């Protein structure tokens, strides 16, 4: 059992590194291009400054469940991502809740306030504005009041239909997370 877990963890780590490398390559190629404007609905009027802007690579996890018509369909379960600074250092992990946990021990949970479609990447998960709740520990995330998920690529529900209730599907994604106070 341990070897299966270690193999999944290694595969996930390799995928995250590859996704981040792809994101960095895309960023390097597109650095001369203007970054898409953040939709006004995702910009809180009372945010004072950016605490951190981090690039994320990971997966959006979906679960196969029955809907109101008893048909099987993919339902979002949780994110699983690693967030890196500009030098490539792992700074924050992102998981169910949604929760962000920094390497320094600080941690926040978020509640979605607004969302907007990813105009530059149709078919990708939406851009989000979240209010930080349930903060814990001193450190990077201690003063964060808002989180923006921007520049999303991928992460939508799996394109294939789910065939068995309880089946799990994972969709790779990359994004930029901006933490505001």
pLDDT tens per residue, range 110-143: 999 999 999 889 899 999 999 999 999 999 999 9
DSSP, collapsed to helix, strand or coil, labels residue 134 as strand
Identify the pLDDT of residue 125. 98
pLDDT average, residue stretch 61-87: 97
| Short-list 132, 130, 125, 113, CA closest to 151 | 125
Let me know: does 88 contact 99? Beta carbons within 8 Å: no
On the question of pLDDT at 10 being above 80, the answer is no
Non-local CB neighbours of 26 within 8 Å, separated by 6+ positions: 153
How distant is the alpha carbon of residue 83 from its chain centre? 8
Identify the pLDDT of residue 159. 92
Cα(102)–Cα(54) distance, integer angstroms: 11
pLDDT average, residue stretch 87-110: 98
Element (H, E) at 20: helix 2-29
Q: At 8, list the tokens.
A: 């999944």
């Amino acid at each position: 059992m341990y070897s299966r877990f270690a193999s999944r963890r290694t595969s996930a780590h390799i995928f995250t590194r590859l996704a981040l490398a792809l994101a960095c390559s895309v960023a390097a190629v597109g650095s001369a291009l203007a970054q898409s404007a953040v939709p006004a609905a995702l910009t809180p009027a009372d945010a004072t400054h950016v605490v951190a802007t981090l690039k994320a690579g990971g997966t959006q996890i979906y679960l196969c469940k029955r809907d109101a018509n008893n048909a099987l369909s993919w339902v979002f379960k949780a994110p699983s991502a690693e967030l890196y600074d500009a030098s490539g250092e792992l700074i924050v992990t992102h998981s169910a809740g949604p929760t962000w946990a920094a390497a320094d021990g600080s941690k926040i949970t978020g509640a979605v306030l607004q969302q907007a479609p990813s105009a530059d990447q149709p078919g990708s998960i939406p851009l989000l504005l979240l209010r930080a709740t349930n903060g814990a520990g001193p450190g990077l995330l201690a003063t964060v009041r808002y989180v923006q998920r921007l520049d999303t690529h991928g992460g939508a529900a799996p394109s294939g239909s789910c065939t068995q209730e309880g089946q799990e599907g994972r969709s790779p994604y990359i994004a930029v997370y901006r933490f505001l106070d």
